[in-house]
Amino acid sequence: MNTPHTTHHTLLKIGVLGAGSMGSGIVQIAATQKHQTVLVDLNEEALNKAAANLKNILARMVEKDKIDQATADVIMGRITFSKNIADFKDCDMVIEAIIENLEVKKKVFAEMESVVSHDCILASNTSSLSIASIASACKQAERVIGIHFFNPAPLMPLVEIIPAVQTSEATTTTSRALIDSWKKVTVLAKDTPGFIVNRVARPFYGEALKIYEEGVADFATIDWAMTEIGGFKMGPFTLMDYIGNDINYTVTESVFAAFYYDPRYKPSFTQKRHAEAGWFGRKTGRGYYNYAEGVEQPQPKKDEKIGKEICDRILVMLMNEAIDALFLNIASREDIDLAMTKGVNYPKGLLVWADEMGLANVLAKLEHLFAEYGEDRYRPSVLLRRMVRENKTFF
């Protein structure tokens, strides 16, 4: 492959496939950053909806004096809406943001490759699928990379950059420089299930569900412990209702399968039953909480001692996951902490936080859980044991 001749200083033409909320968000960013942008979706209704939504968002920005009307018109003018993949022909980069289905993605990447130029970068916004597998559908697999935005893309600062084993150095460098130029915070992640954020964050949901299933506390109390004592913006059950139990449960199942059924990522029957009942959360009016008009929300039992135990248990599990990600070279320690603060708004980076709690304390809490349950999910990371033995800290 020729090295992509474009640098982030020249204004490239950007293509986006998929007019859902993710695709529209990426188009909004690219057009705002002065790129000619093409949004392709085979569904005309989806395209019309995306165009209407973008107009509304820009109109609101004008109302709030963030931009003037002329700027809004120029941004809108940079976007072409199309039903034809062939309209990607003169793009320098195309970002795919369609359904999380590997076979569909592979088919689409092969099709895109047949219309774009030789040095066009093809990127996937997948949150959990293998980039190597997607890239294998292309003759020039070295031009394929993962560029994972978080929803809503225009507001969330973090973007995970995921080179596959086939991805060339030039593709990685050019992609990261481009996304950096969009004023995003980029982190480099290894092509493993869940990348950084969706892997490290699993215990925030999984351990909370386990604490509930054991009858330690109800949803409201666990949420209270994590927000009041832990300092998180949202408790796990409020957050799952916000994301949607259908989506969250599916991701949990796919991460579990992708890790060869490692017990650390085991899904929960409580979540499965909520998903099966159609209790997806806010969007269906019922999830872990009932959002119907006039329903009073349950009050937490504000017992500091229980709250601290809940918080510590979830926290050490999160820290262990972050430490293990570092041990397995998923990303650098800086990128792991950046990803969790910028991608899911954690109050602190988990590695810095583990240093503050004291690595020996983190290890002692995990070893206590491991001895109590005898379950592999509480197995302390090898790296944590080494750090404690050698009396080291992460930062």
What percent of the chain has a predicted confidence (pLDDT) above 70?
97
Q: What is each CA distance from 46 to 20, 93, 123, 148, in whole angstroms? A: 7, 22, 21, 21
Segment 206-218 mean pLDDT:
97
Enter the tokens of residue 308: 């601290």
Segment 218-222 mean pLDDT:
98
112-116, 215-219, 246-250, 343-347: the lowest-pLDDT one:
246-250
Q: Which residues contact residue 367 at a Cβ distance below 8 angstroms, ignoring those fewer than 6 apart?
A: 380
**Where does the chain hold its CATH 1.10.1040.50 domain(s)?**
199-389
Catalytic residue among 5, 9, 118, 148: 148
Segment 87-95 mean pLDDT:
97
Helices (H) and strands (E) in the chain, counts: 17, 8
CB atoms within 10 A of CB 128: 17
Q: Is 148 a catalytic residue?
A: yes
| First-last CA distance in the chain | 39
Tens digits of per-residue pLDDT, 13-59?
999 999 999 999 999 999 999 999 999 999 999 999 999 999 999 99
Tens digits of per-residue pLDDT, 322-370?
999 999 999 999 999 999 999 999 999 999 999 999 999 999 999 999 9
Q: How many alpha carbons fall within 13 Å on the CB side of residue 217? A: 27
Enter the tokens of residue 19: 């007019």
Which amino acid, residue 190?
A: K
Burial class (CB in 10 A: 0-12, 13-18, 19+), 133: middle
Tens digits of per-residue pLDDT, 237-259?
999 999 899 888 988 998 899 99
**Stated pTM of the model:** 0.93
Burial class (CB in 10 A: 0-12, 13-18, 19+), 71: middle
Segment 158-164 mean pLDDT:
98
Output the pLDDT for position 338: 97
Sheet with 79-82, strands from edge to edge, namely: 79-82, 36-40, 13-17, 93-96, 121-124, 144-149, 158-163, 185-188
Distance from C-alpha of 186 to C-alpha of 160, rounded to nearest angstrom: 6
Which amino acid, residue 384?
A: L
CB atoms within 10 A of CB 363: 22
Q: What one-character-per-residue DSSP string does 228-242 give? A: IIT--SS-HHHHHHH
Q: For the domain with range 199-389, which CATH number is right: 1.10.1040.50, 3.40.50.300, 1.20.1560.10, 3.10.20.30? A: 1.10.1040.50
Determine whether domain 13-188 maps to CATH 3.40.50.720: yes
**Where does the chain hold its CATH 3.40.50.720 domain(s)?**
13-188
Output the pLDDT for position 8: 44
Strands (E), the chain: 13-17, 36-40, 79-82, 93-96, 121-124, 144-149, 158-163, 185-188
